[in-house]
Amino acid sequence: MLKSALLLTFTLAACTRAGAPDISSYAAEHDGLSRLCNNPALLGEVLDDISNGQCGIDNPVAVHVVAGVELSTPATLNCRTANSLANWVENDAQDAVKNLRSRITGMRVLASYACRTRNSQSGARLSEHALGNAIDFGSFTLANGTVLSIEDDWRRRNKEGTAIRALVDSACGPFGTVLGPDADRFHQDNLHLDTAEYRGGAYCR
């Protein structure tokens, strides 16, 4: 009940961005959550610096809730990426599912920080995951109980398929890289988002 009350309180605050209350003291009383990255849209925990060879994050955070949306497992990210995630959820992702007459309330995280190469392939370049710049999602749960799955709904020609494709498209711009099932065999069941920067603009497939 306390966790539900926290999410309800924060969801209402997120709907009116101007003058959103500072909820860090309230959140700290529940599972140790606090406001992150000077952003009232982010709740979670501040972590110790991560250093592992070429991998690592300065001032990492474990994000539990973003703009009133609960993550299935805490996402370990740097603040730049966490803020991009908050911006996307608040300003783009919710609009992408509005034709379903509901709102996103949960997101299933498949990966965040991990010290590995791209797609865990031998000899490949270091992944953006290894720097705290990336997060992968598998599905999105709506308030009405609908679950939008990357793997199950991407190629369906129905309202759920339209919504999941709109959701992926909406991330292009807020993130530097957006990879879904049309990108390659490694993204058939997940949406990869990262904050890498390219001279030609965002890379989205």
Tokens of 10: 């924060």
What is the tens place of the pLDDT at every residue in 47-62?
Answer: 999 999 999 999 999 9
Q: How do residues 181-191 score in pLDDT, each as one tens digit? A: 999 999 999 99
The percentage of residues in the chain with a pLDDT greater than 70, rounded to a whole number, is 85
Strand 177-179 vs strand 203-204: parallel, antiparallel, or unpaired? parallel
Give bridge partners of residue 177 from the DSSP assignment: 194, 203
DSSP 8-state symbol, 119: G
Q: Identify the DSSP state of 124.
A: P
pLDDT in the model for residue 11:
41
pLDDT at residue 17 tops 90: no
Which segments of 26-133 are extended strands (E)?
Answer: 34-36, 39-46, 50-52, 55-57, 61-66, 69-77, 104-111
Rounded distance between C-alpha atoms, residue 36 and residue 99, angstroms: 31
Helix (H) / strand (E) containing 14: helix 2-15
In degrees, to the nearest 5, what angle opens at C-alpha 142 toward C-alphas 139 and 148?
A: 35
pLDDT digits (tens, 9 = 90+) for 88-113: 999 999 999 999 999 999 999 999 99
The pTM (predicted TM-score) of the whole model is 0.84
User: DSSP per residue over 139-152, as a string?
Assistant: EEEETTS-EEEHHH
Task: Pull the structure tokens for residue 98.
Answer: 């509005």
Residue 101: count other Cβ atoms within 10 Å of its Cβ: 10
- For 169, the enclosing helix (H) or strand (E) is helix 159-170
Write down the pLDDT at residue 23.
45
24-38, 64-78, 88-102, 139-153, range with the lowest pLDDT: 24-38
DSSP 3-state of 62 = strand
| The pLDDT of residue 31 | 63
Position 28 scores a pLDDT of: 45
What's the rounded Cα separation, in Å, for the pair 97 and 107? 13
Q: Report yes or no: 176 and 163 within 8 Å, Cβ to Cβ.
A: no
Radius of gyration of the chain (CA): 17
- Rounded to whole angstroms, how far apart are CA atoms 19 and 176? 29
